[in-house]
Structure 1
Amino acid sequence: MGEAKRRKNTLGENYGQDTRILPWVPISKSQAELFVSWTTRAAWIGIVGMVVAWVTIRFIGPAFGWWQVVA
């Protein structure tokens, strides 16, 4: 008997389905991995946005304000 058949006999009707993180939590491992990838991407977008805002406020904003005072 091959390993796949043995696993199918052992798991029964749960064979081929995603496994859950914990039996009482209705979230599968693939859903958890997808959540982690999305939140990681969102965190990097937030970091880049914060750096752009900081550069704008720190350097670009005062430069435009200085030109208005002179002119």
Structure 2
Amino acid sequence: MGEAKRRKEALGEQYGKESYVAPWFPITKTQAQQFVKWTNRGAWIGIGVLVVCWVGVRFIGPALGLWQVN
């Protein structure tokens, strides 16, 4: 008997189903990984937008005569 058959007999109806992050939290491990992936990507996009805005205010604005400081 192979390992897959033993595992199938041991798990019964739960065989082949994804496990949850926690029994009381209805999010699967794959969904949790996708959430981390998308939030990580969003954070990097936010950092990029922040850098572009900073460059605009710090260098481009004064070069064009905008946002003058007295």
After TM superposition, is the score higher than 0.5? yes
- In the TM superposition, what whole-angstrom CA distance separates every residue of 1:34-59 from its partner, at most 9, and x where no partner exists? 00000000000000100000000100
37-46 or 10-19: bigger deviation: 10-19
Could you list the runs of 5+ residues in structure 1 that have no partner in the other structure? 67-71
Aligned length: 66
Counterpart of 1:46, as a letter, is: G
1:54 is aligned to 2:54: yes
2-side partners of 1:19 and 1:28: how far apart? 6
In structure 1, the partner of 2:35 is 35
Amino acid at match of 1:41: R
Runs (4 or more) in structure 1 with deviation over 4 Å come to none
Question: Which structure shows the higher strand fraction?
Answer: 2
2-side partners of 1:42 and 1:17: how far apart?
Answer: 30
Distance 2:60 2:32 in 1: 41
Alpha carbon RMSD of aligned pairs, Å? 1.0
Percent identity for Structure 1 against Structure 2: 62
Tell me, which stretches of 5 or more residues in structure 2 are unaligned? Answer: none
